[in-house]
Amino acid sequence: MGYKRNFQASPLFSFSNSSTLTAGSTWTVDCESDEPTSQKYLPFNYTVITNLSSAPLIFYPNQSSRGKFIPPNSFITFDKKTIPAISSFKIKNNSATTDAEASKIEVTLSKEQYDSQDLLTNVHKALFNFFGGLQ
């Protein structure tokens, strides 16, 4: 099945923990498999994490080994400058004793519209690579 990748702003795609995230455990989401309609907008470049639980969390964009700390009862936003491309994530309950109750963690992802600055940046990189970079 073919599709055309979309460079316009995307709708919001929200993912919430459907069950309790016990102390020390992880929750993993692959956007394409968990929400197939997101496929044409991947990768996303705008992320909002809402942690309404009493547990501290570590957010791993693209399931990488470098995480970002999310304090209890907080929300944090990442834009395309801090996380330029995300198509999956892992969240770890970083507490040794406190569980994060079901539906207390929400990750909302979207794609900001591709703008002229993005175009100039990509053209500049392509020309730089085409001409062999710095010699």
Mean pLDDT of 67-89: 95
pLDDT at site 117: 63
Query: How many CA atoms, within 13 angstroms, populate the side-chain half-sphere of residue 35?
Result: 20
pLDDT at site 9: 85
In a domain, 117, yes or no: yes
In a domain, 71, yes or no: yes
In percent, the amount of the chain with pLDDT more than 70 equals: 81
In a domain, 8, yes or no: no
- Read off the pLDDT of residues 2-59 as tens digits, 9 standing for 90 and up: 555 556 789 999 999 999 999 999 999 999 999 999 999 999 999 999 999 999 999 9
Task: Indicate which CATH number applies to the domain containing 107.
Answer: 2.60.120
The total of structural domains in the chain comes to 1
CB crowding 72-107: b at 16 or more within 10 Å, else e? beeebebebeebeebbbbbbbbbbeebbbeeebbeb
